[in-house]
């Protein structure tokens, strides 16, 4: 029994107000992003940066989309920073409509709910991939179809025509089932295109929902004009579940005799090939509407958020009570950087790398969905690039250090692009010795922070703070030892880290006293020698 609209709406609302529980098929979710042209964007977030910032998990947290089209469009949105504000302005207009008119929001939700089938993932292939082409001998198909029609008509005059009809049926069955494989390639996407077009039509007729897409009604009319041939695919999708076996066999005989399916398939593909722009217009309209709906649901669920300010000040970043969305009860921090970049020190697990990721995640979200996990977030328009999660590439015989070299080289090249960047780095050149690590790190960081670029770098090398005082502002994270336990407050503090607990942590983990005593004596001597050299 079909679900009532009231029950369907309640179910859709319940799911939209929480993180999706089902496994996300990223292979298909990413389909639109990988197929579409990305040249017109200010930045396409690289695979490395997307992985460094755990943006796949951030996507899963943010995703409150209803349709599969919207889910694909949200992923594409998080991977692309536009060079203007038109996309975010359209999002905000729809979010405001949903907030001001809950009944309209419910109506949109119901229409988007018709595109929850995984088959909707394949709509993008209709306008972004080449269609199958007619074979050279296809001219025989309409001739055989015409011969079948003629034989049926002749039956009323010459019963002997039945013999010809049987022969034609046998021949046509061969062509009919040859075409089945071609038909199945589109059996998922074309029926979903019809559903998407109908949903777009219903939504665009609602007050205020078609204002930002002046061409949407023309695009809808263009697809609706295909009419009867499109119904062949809807019928094919329903055969197995909604009609009886006898009726199915009768319909199959009729379609085979008159070769309806191959004629309809190639006619529709020919028409769809001419209407790629219109299909993409409808797809974008549904995608943007669903993403706006997702943003609306997300904001309702967050403990705090802000709409960011994209500043014209070239080298300034301000964050007030910014937090990481994936950490339960994440500690909020504030930072204000003007004219310099940021160097973060602190022990492992103290929070410095998480803070760098928090800045990067929010810098991307500020420029994609206009929503940040902070009370205030202000940045210039930035490209976001990182070198955080680096590992050996054993299959290609590349060492950890060589992977680091290549990752940092990519950032150096990007710094000369002529656009302002946000560079995020964690423990540069860990794969080499201390002296060369500090020397190389200082040179690279000073190079990256040129040309109004902003750099957030985490390091254990306190010497870097002394070497970068002109270009970097220093911050640190600390921990305390209380009752033989490490206590982290995860709060960012200004200045250089002065108290370290590395050796104390060895003691807490019951290292032999002979080891820890010698380590403390050596550390004291090294620190005193450093102070003496600095005084000289």
pLDDT of residue 68: 97
3-state secondary structure 383-440: EEEEECCCCCEHHHCECHHHHHHHHHHHHHHHCCCCCCEEEEEECCCCCCCHHHHHHH
Strand partners, 320: 376
Instruction: Check whether 243 has a pLDDT greater than 70.
Output: no
Instruction: Check whether 534 has a pLDDT greater than 60.
Output: no
Better-predicted residue by pLDDT, 15 or 490: 490
Domain ranges of the chain: 5-301, 309-500
Q: HSE of 65 in the Cβ direction (CA atoms, 13 Å)?
A: 25
What are the DSSP E strand ranges found in 433-483?
454-459, 472-476, 479-482
* Integer Cα distance of 472 and 466 in angstroms: 10
pLDDT of residue 226: 82
Q: Which CATH superfamily is domain 309-500 in?
A: P-loop containing nucleotide triphosphate hydrolases (3.40.50.300)
* Integer Cα distance of 471 and 455 in angstroms: 10
pLDDT band of residue 100 (cuts 50, 70, 90) is very high
Segment 337-360, tens digit of pLDDT? 999 999 999 877 888 999 999 999
Q: Are 497 and 476 in contact (CB under 8 A)?
A: yes
CA dihedral (351, 352, 354, 358) in degrees, to 10, reads 120
Reported as type and span, the H/E element at residue 313 is none
Radius of gyration of the chain (CA): 31
Segment 162-189, tens digit of pLDDT? 888 888 889 988 898 888 888 888 888 9
Q: What percent of the chain has pLDDT over 70?
A: 91
Q: What percent of the chain has pLDDT over 90?
A: 54
Q: What is the mean pLDDT of the chain?
A: 87
pLDDT band of residue 421 (cuts 50, 70, 90) is very high
DSSP state of 372: B
Segment 109-144, tens digit of pLDDT? 999 999 999 999 999 999 999 999 999 999 999 999
pLDDT of residue 536: 46
Segment 472-513, tens digit of pLDDT? 999 999 877 777 777 888 999 998 776 666 777 777 778 888
Q: What angle do CA 265, 266, 268 make, to 5 degrees?
A: 65
């Amino acid at each position: 029994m079909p679900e009532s609209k009231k029950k369907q709406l309640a179910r859709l609302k319940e799911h939209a107000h929480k993180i999706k529980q089902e496994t996300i098929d990223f292979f298909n979710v990413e389909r639109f992003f990988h197929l579409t042209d990305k040249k017109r964007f200010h930045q396409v977030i690289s695979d490395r940066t997307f992985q460094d910032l755990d943006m796949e998990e951030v996507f899963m947290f943010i995703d409150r989309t209803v349709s599969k089209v919207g889910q694909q469009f949200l992923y594409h949105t998080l991977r692309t920073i536009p060079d203007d504000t038109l996309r975010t302005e359209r999002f905000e207009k729809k979010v405001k409509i949903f907030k001001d008119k809950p009944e309209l929001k419910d109506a949109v939700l119901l229409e988007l709910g018709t595109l929850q089938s995984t088959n909707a993932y394949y709509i993008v292939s209709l306008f972004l991939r080449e269609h199958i082409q007619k074979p050279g001998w296809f001219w025989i198909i309409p001739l055989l179809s015409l011969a079948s029609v003629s034989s049926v008509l002749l039956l009323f005059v010459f019963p002997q025509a039945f013999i010809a009809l049987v022969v034609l049926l046998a021949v046509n069955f061969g062509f009919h089932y040859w075409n089945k494989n071609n038909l199945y390639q589109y059996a998922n996407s074309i029926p979903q295109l019809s559903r998407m077009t109908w949903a777009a039509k219903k939504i665009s007729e609602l007050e205020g929902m078609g204002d930002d897409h002046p061409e949407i009604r023309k695009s809808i009319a263009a697809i609706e004009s295909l009419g009867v041939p499109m119904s062949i695919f809807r019928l094919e999708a329903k055969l197995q579940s909604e009609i009886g076996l006898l009726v199915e066999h009768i319909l199959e005989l009729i379609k085979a005799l008159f070769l309806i399916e191959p004629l309809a398939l190639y006619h529709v593909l020919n028409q769809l090939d001419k209407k790629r722009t219109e299909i993409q217009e409808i797809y974008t309209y549904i995608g943007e509407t669903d993403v706006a709906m997702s943003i609306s649901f997300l904001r309702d669920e967050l403990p705090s958020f802000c709409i960011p300010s994209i500043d014209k000040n070239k080298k300034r970043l301000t964050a007030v009570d910014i937090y990481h969305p994936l950490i339960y009860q994440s500690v909020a921090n504030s930072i204000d950087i003007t004219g310099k970049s940021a160097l973060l020190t602190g022990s492992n697990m103290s929070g410095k790398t998480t803070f760098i990721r928090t800045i990067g995640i929010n810098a991307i979200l500020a420029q994609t969905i206009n929503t940040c996990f902070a009370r205030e977030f202000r940045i210039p328009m930035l490209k976001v690039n990182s070198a955080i999660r680096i590992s050996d590439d054993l299959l290609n015989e590349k060492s950890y250090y060589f992977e680091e070299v290549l990752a940092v080289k990519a950032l150096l090249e990007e710094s000369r692009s002529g656009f302002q960047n946000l560079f995020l780095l964690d423990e540069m050149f860990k794969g080499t010795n201390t002296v060369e690590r500090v020397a190389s790190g200082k040179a690279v960081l000073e190079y990256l922070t040129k040309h109004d670029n902003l750099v957030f770098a985490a390091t254990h090398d306190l010497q870097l703070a002394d070497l970068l005082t002109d270009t970097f502002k220093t911050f640190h994270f600390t921990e305390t030892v209380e009752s033989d336990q490490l206590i982290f407050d995860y709060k960012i503090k200004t200045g250089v880290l002065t108290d370290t607990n590395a050796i104390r942590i060895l003691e807490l983990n019951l290292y032999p006293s002979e080891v820890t005593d010698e380590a403390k004596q050596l550390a004291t001597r090294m620190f005193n020698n450093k102070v003496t050299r600095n005084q000289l």
